[in-house]
């Protein structure tokens, strides 16, 4: 039989297979040997596309990052942009929570992750935030989003009501109900945190950016400069 014209192995097939494996079994399940077996090829074939396993994980993480909305920083004022970006970022990570520990290391050399960092930082600086503060805000938002996507507060409580019937836990009588409302609790907590952070940043913006600008212009007018 003639050999198939289409290549048996492609970069995208490797990334897709690795992503499926991570979603199903976690980061620990990924090895070049396991991936090769899943793809039906010999292990060394992977190295024609990626130098090592970390490069494959980077590619998976970057593909997930591509789903995050960063155009909002070019079309919205910074508070609304942070809201849109934060929600989009969490949705992308929550759909693939097992990749979060790798992704949380930072953008590294990943093109889409660097593009996201550039869009966030650039949007905040254009809005008047000092560069150091813009960096802090980007880091703060990443902590909030990654932490929310990585774990579930609600799932940390057992569904057995007997555990919480004790004088030691007088306020946890309904804690066994949390697990049944996991999505509602976790998303509600994230939304509360996101809105609180942005409202706090709006107050800081008034103090750091707006008031400083007003004082500068007032001094300039008074000195005639």
217 CB contacts (<8 Å, ≥6 apart)?
Answer: none
Query: What confidence category does residue 212 fall into, taking pLDDT thresholds of 50, 70 and 90?
Result: low
pTM score, whole prediction: 0.84
User: Do the domain assignments include residue 117?
Assistant: yes
Q: Over the stretch 119-176, which tens digit does the pLDDT of each residue have?
A: 999 999 999 999 999 999 999 999 999 999 988 898 899 999 889 888 788 999 899 9
User: Do the domain assignments include residue 166?
Assistant: yes
Q: In 3D, which of 71, 195, 69 has the Cα closest to residue 144?
A: 195
Cα torsion angle, 100, 106, 111, 113, sign: positive
Q: What is the pLDDT of residue 7?
A: 54
User: Do the domain assignments include residue 84?
Assistant: yes
Q: Which CATH number fits the domain that encloses residue 156?
A: 1.10.357.10
Query: What confidence category does residue 4 fall into, taking pLDDT thresholds of 50, 70 and 90?
Result: very low
144 CB contacts (<8 Å, ≥6 apart)?
Answer: 86, 190, 193, 194, 197
Residue 94 to residues 88, 135, 199, 204, Cα–Cα distance (Å): 10, 24, 24, 29
User: Do the domain assignments include residue 50?
Assistant: no
User: Do the domain assignments include residue 140?
Assistant: yes
Q: Over the stretch 166-198, which tens digit does the pLDDT of each residue have?
A: 878 899 989 999 989 999 999 999 999 999 999
DSSP string, 14-42: HHHHHHHHHHHH-GGG--HHHHHHHHTS-
Domain count along the chain:
1
Query: What confidence category does residue 213 fall into, taking pLDDT thresholds of 50, 70 and 90?
Result: low
User: Do the domain assignments include residue 148?
Assistant: yes
% residues pLDDT > 90 (the chain): 74
| DSSP reduced 3-state for 75 | helix
DSSP state of 207: I
User: Do the domain assignments include residue 6?
Assistant: no
Q: In 3D, which of 131, 139, 149 has the Cα closest to residue 82?
A: 139
Domain of 172, in residue numbers: 68-217
Angle (CA) 92 97 100, round 5° = 85
User: Do the domain assignments include residue 2?
Assistant: no
């Amino acid at each position: 039989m003639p050999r198939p014209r289409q290549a048996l192995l492609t970069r995208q097939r490797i990334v897709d297979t690795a992503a499926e494996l991570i979603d199903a079994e976690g980061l620990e399940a990924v090895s070049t040997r396991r991936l090769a077996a899943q793809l039906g090829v010999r292990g060394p074939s992977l190295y024609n596309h990626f130098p090592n396993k970390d490069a494959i994980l980077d590619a998976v993480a970057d593909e997930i990052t591509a789903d995050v909305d960063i155009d909002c920083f070019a079309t919205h004022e910074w508070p609304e942009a942070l809201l849109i970006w934060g929600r989009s970022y969490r949705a992308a990570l929550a759909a693939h929570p097992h990749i979060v520990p790798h992704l949380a290391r930072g953008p590294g050399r990943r093109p889409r992750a660097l593009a996201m960092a550039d869009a966030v930082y650039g949007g905040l600086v254009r809005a008047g935030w000092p560069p150091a503060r813009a960096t802090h805000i980007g880091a703060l938002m990443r902590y909030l989003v990654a932490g929310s996507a990585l774990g579930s507060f609600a799932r940390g409580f057992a569904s057995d009501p007997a555990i919480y019937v004790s004088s030691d836990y007088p306020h946890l009588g309904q804690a066994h109900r949390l697990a049944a409302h996991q999505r509602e609790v976790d998303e509600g907590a994230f939304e509360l945190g996101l809105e609180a952070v942005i409202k706090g940043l709006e107050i800081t913006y008034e103090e750091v950016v707006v008031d400083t600008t007003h004082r500068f212009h007032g001094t300039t007018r008074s000195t005639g400069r």
